[in-house]
Amino acid sequence: MRLIVSALITAIGLAAGQASAADLPRKAPAYIPPAPPPITWTGCYIGANVGGAFGHASATFNVGEVSTSGSGFAGGGQIGCDYQFAGAWVIGFRNMFDGASNNRNATIGSGPLAGSVVNFDNRWFDTLTARLGYAVAPAWLLYFQGGAAWADNSVDITLNGVQFGQGSNTRTGWTIGGGVEWMFAPHWSAFLEGNYMDFGGSSGTVFGPGACVAGCTYSTKRTPSTVLVGVNYRF
């Protein structure tokens, strides 16, 4: 009888101990944050840029020729889309519109227009390009681009402060360039790039002193280039 009572007491004590242990607070498992989403260049973006515009311009008259090089400011915005495929390859398109202050002057040294100052001015340019890139690292993209370009160009000719020739038009040409882009934060990237543009030639007629009283024809050619830095917001 005593053995039975002792066994019951022991069983009751074990059950009570297990219940008390079950009531004790348990340590929560360590928090493991989810892995960040993989970096991808697929998506569209909008952004802004700023930099320098450089270039060479020439004017060939039937009585002489003049040429000059210069530099100025460029800045504006861009919008485009990219698609990443086959691992690290990226294709896309972009439209960029920039205002420019690339103004250059040259003086005609000889002939009937000697002493006349020719002013070449580029007010803005617009480029629509396709681009092909390769992500050398998940957040770093090297790319090349090319396509169509438009620019607002003007030519003014003055002698002794009096303007006797002027021409302004929107030229169509082509562009090619490349750069590097860095995705430095989710949805944000920065880039550095260079571009070359060729707008071919345009022609006109000026009426001035001497042999140009009846009109002198001329043609101009422009080959600007840009170096730009910019930032994009990707969505």
- Would you list the domain boundaries of the chain? 37-234
Query: How far is it, in rounded angstroms, from Cα 158 to Cα 161?
Result: 6
Query: How far is it, in rounded angstroms, from Cα 177 to Cα 114?
Result: 38
Q: Where are the beta strands (DSSP E) in 86-116?
A: 89-107
**Percent of the residues in the chain that have a pLDDT greater than 90, as a whole number:** 48
C-alpha closest to that of 106 among 114, 118, 116? 118
Is it the case that residue 145 has pLDDT exceeding 60? yes
Query: How far is it, in rounded angstroms, from Cα 157 to Cα 64?
Result: 14
Is it the case that residue 196 has pLDDT exceeding 90? yes
Query: How far is it, in rounded angstroms, from Cα 176 to Cα 161?
Result: 38
Query: How far is it, in rounded angstroms, from Cα 94 to Cα 195?
Result: 13
Name the pTM for this structure: 0.79
Contact call for residues 82 and 90 (beta carbons, < 8 A): yes
Is it the case that residue 24 has pLDDT exceeding 80? no
Between 2 and 67, the more confident residue is 67
Q: What pLDDT is recorded for position 115?
A: 78
Q: What pLDDT is recorded for position 203?
A: 77
Q: What pLDDT is recorded for position 230?
A: 98
Q: Which fold has domain 37-234?
A: Porin (2.40.160)
Q: Phi-psi bin for 5: left (phi > 0), alpha (psi -120 to 50), beta?
A: alpha
C-alpha closest to that of 123 among 97, 96, 95? 97
Residue 217 phi/psi, 5° resolution? -85, 155
C-alpha closest to that of 127 among 221, 56, 192, 224? 224
Average pLDDT, the chain: 85
Q: Where are the beta strands (DSSP E) in the chain?
A: 43-61, 64-85, 89-107, 117-137, 140-159, 162-185, 188-198, 201-206, 216-234
Per-residue pLDDT of 49-108, as tens digits, reads 999 999 888 888 766 688 888 889 999 999 999 999 999 999 999 999 999 988 888 888
Q: How many other β-carbons are positioned within 10 Å of the β-carbon of residue 95? A: 14
pLDDT band at 164 (very low <50, low <70, confident <90, very high): confident
Is it the case that residue 174 has pLDDT exceeding 80? yes
DSSP-H helix ranges across the chain: 2-23
Contact call for residues 81 and 92 (beta carbons, < 8 A): yes
Q: Phi-psi bin for 99: left (phi > 0), alpha (psi -120 to 50), beta?
A: beta
Contacts of 48 by beta carbon, 8 Å cutoff, 6+ apart: 75, 76, 77, 78, 230, 231
